[in-house]
């Protein structure tokens, strides 16, 4: 059985059981066994993290930045091993997906986080010289991260955006590996601990547990030693963790479910239906639809061209083989979600029901329902079918379209396709404010699949897309502040202030708000 990483050492788990990952392309289990940790493992990791947090507080940001940069380099040194293992455990293509896209994205995130840690501007250092009051965002405490199944590197519990942000803020991380790719997470953790040894940071800056019982997971997120939690996964499991964290006031940042509506206005469909069909099919079937921003619902006019659009998508869905799904759990959940939508009035249009029992998969599924049925049963119609399935909702008028949007839950993204001229302008102006209140990212004439690593990006949204509409899981510096607390220093002497709040500016790359003005210079004495 593989060992867990606690306090800088790979040790035998005090486990209550064992599990293995499976190859999605063959359904065959891995030969490697991984432990289900008992509370003893969790308790040891929490204690080590609490001690590491105190050590990190005494270190300068340069050590944290060096750790993140060194970790990025270490990942690149074992890129072939990482890609091979991730391909085996997830079925995702080695190239371009894992090797050429996701792995470079991950190392880029780590280096961006390092730069943010070094200059400190993310912490919004604010100085009022007249009252001698100063404030800054500071580390919160050990962070527990639950990684998802669909991005083993870029959202991984010991490598992804949550990890990079928590570390940059000055917090140690306890990673809970996703059960779909424990081997990939182990390799990443091995490189992280090597980076820690080379960077003068506490060995418990990163720790790894593969799996716990549900009760121990809930106990862990509610432990007094925890500062915050990051979670990406199913709504059911996430809400159980949220209940436990909320009971003791622990901030938990959730990414739960999103159907990412795509709205096609009449003028757009009349103008360029064929290209829209291609854009949509490419976006919805990419990676077998296993993206957080996969366009799961399309709102389209009830018209001849609307029906033609649906028919064209149906044809392409039937003609395309279903992609490999990440795990048996994803396969089961997808089939259940499709059946649930059908039981609530959706009609399945695709006729290709041929399955491939040699791997985890599901035939591409296209369903349709009316705007009226959606309005009358919005909760059921917004069931997330995570994978290669889409629901088309036909609307009779712009008034009904607004009613449908208003009945929607919160989503990560929402997209409006409009005529390239001014034909749809009035309709766009009518619906855009309604959609903007339901999504974290509003797109125009662009499919939502994919999330650019940009400081302006918002990968968040109203519940149930996330647990808090004011935060993002992608984009620095926004991601870092989730794992920090605002601290104020009132009449504190210069030598006792954090480095970001002293009169001397730490560097020319550090921007501070001094008496209402952004500056990268020293505090000037008042005249």
Edge-to-edge strands of the sheet including 15-19? Answer: 15-19, 34-37, 211-212
Give the bridge partners for 15, in sequence order: 37
Question: CA 449 from chain center: how many Å?
Answer: 13
- Cβ atoms 69, 111 nearer than 8 A: yes
Question: How does 156-177 read in b/e, with b if 16+ C-beta sit within 10 Å?
Answer: bbbbbbbbbbbbbbbbbbbbbb
- Give the CB-side neighbour count of residue 13, counting CA atoms within 13 A: 24
CA distances from 61 to 66, 273, 314, 498 (A): 9, 53, 54, 11
Q: Which of 2, 102, 255, 384 is catalytic?
A: 255
Own/partner long-range contacts of 105-108 (Cβ < 8 Å, ≥24 apart): 105/153, 105/154, 105/453, 106/72, 106/75, 106/153, 106/154, 106/156, 106/159, 106/160, 107/72, 107/73, 107/75, 107/76, 108/72, 108/453
Task: Give start and end residues of each alpha helix (H) in 320-367.
Answer: 328-343
CA distances from 34 to 26, 55, 457 (A): 20, 30, 36
Determine whether 362 is an active site residue: no
Fill in the DSSP letter of residue 95: I
CB 299 within 8 A of CB 266: no
| Three-state DSSP state, 394 | strand
Residue 389: which of 416, 414, 362 has the closest Cα? 362
Residue carrying the six token digits 């003893």: 40
Tell me the Ramachandran region of residue 288: left when phi exceeds 0, alpha when psi lies from -120 to 50, beta otherwise: left
φ, ψ of residue 180 to 5 degrees: the values are: -75, -25
Catalytic residue among 42, 292, 361, 362: 292
SS3 106: helix
Residue 144: phi and psi, rounded to 5, are -100, 125
* Torsions phi, psi for 135 (to 5 deg): -135, 155
Q: Is 255 a catalytic residue?
A: yes
Active site positions, annotated: 255, 292
């Amino acid at each position: 059985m593989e060992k867990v990483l606690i306090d800088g050492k790979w040790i035998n788990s005090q486990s209550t059981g064992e599990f293995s990952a499976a190859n999605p392309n063959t359904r065959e289990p891995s030969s490697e066994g991984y432990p289900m940790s008992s509370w003893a493992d969790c308790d040891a990791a929490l204690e080590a993290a609490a001690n590491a947090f105190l050590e990190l507080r005494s270190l300068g940001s340069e050590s944290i930045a060096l750790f993140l940069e060194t970790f990025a380099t270490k990942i690149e040194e074992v890129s072939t091993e990482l890609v091979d293992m991730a391909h085996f455990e997830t079925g995702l293509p080695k190239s371009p997906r894992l090797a050429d896209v996701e792995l470079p994205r991950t190392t880029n995130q780590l280096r961006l986080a390092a730069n943010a840690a070094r200059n400190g501007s993310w912490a919004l250092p604010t100085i009022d010289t007249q009252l001698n009051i100063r404030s800054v965002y500071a580390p919160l405490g050990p962070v527990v991260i639950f990684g998802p199944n669909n991005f083993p590197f870029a959202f991984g519990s010991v490598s992804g955006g949550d990890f990079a942000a928590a570390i940059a803020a000055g917090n140690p991380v306890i990673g809970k590996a996703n059960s779909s790719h424990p081997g990939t997470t182990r390799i990443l953790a091995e490189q992280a601990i090597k980076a820690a040894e080379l960077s003068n940071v506490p060995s418990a800056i990163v720790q790894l547990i593969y799996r716990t019982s549900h009760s121990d997971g809930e106990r862990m997120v509610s432990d007094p030693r925890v500062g915050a939690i990051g979670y990406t996964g199913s709504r059911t499991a996430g809400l159980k963790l949220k209940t436990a964290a909320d009971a003791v006031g622990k901030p938990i940042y959730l990414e739960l479910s999103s159907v990412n509506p795509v709205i096609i206005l009449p003028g757009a469909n009349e103008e360029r239906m064929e290209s829209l069909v291609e854009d949509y099919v490419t976006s919805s079937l990419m990676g077998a639809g296993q993206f957080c921003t996969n366009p799961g619902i399309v709102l389209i006019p009830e018209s001849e061209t609307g029906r033609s659009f649906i028919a064209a998508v149906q044809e392409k869905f039937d003609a395309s083989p279903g992609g490999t799904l990440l795990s048996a759990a994803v396969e089961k959940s997808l089939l259940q979600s499709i059946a649930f939508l059908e039981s609530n009035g959706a009609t399945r249009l695709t006729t290709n029901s041929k399955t491939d029992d040699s791997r985890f998969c599901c035939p591409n599924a296209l369903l349709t329902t009316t705007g009226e049925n959606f309005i009358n049963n919005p909760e059921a119609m917004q069931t997330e079918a995570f994978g290669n399935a889409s629901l088309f909702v036909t609307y009779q008028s712009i008034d009904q379209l607004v009613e449908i949007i208003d009945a929607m839950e919160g989503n990560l993204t929402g997209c409006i396709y409009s005529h390239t001229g001014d034909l749809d302008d009035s309709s766009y102006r009518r619906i855009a404010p309604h959609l903007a209140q339901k999504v974290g990212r509003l797109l125009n004439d662009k499919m939502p699949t994919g999330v650019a690593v940009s400081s302006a990006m918002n990968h968040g949204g109203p519940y149930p897309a996330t647990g808090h509409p004011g935060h993002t899981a992608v984009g620095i510096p926004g991601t870092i502040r989730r794992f920090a607390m605002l601290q104020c220093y009132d009449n504190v002497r210069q030598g006792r202030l954090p480095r970001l709040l002293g009169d001397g500016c730490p560097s020319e790359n550090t921007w501070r708000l001094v008496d209402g003005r952004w500056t990268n210079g020293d505090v000037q004495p008042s005249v």
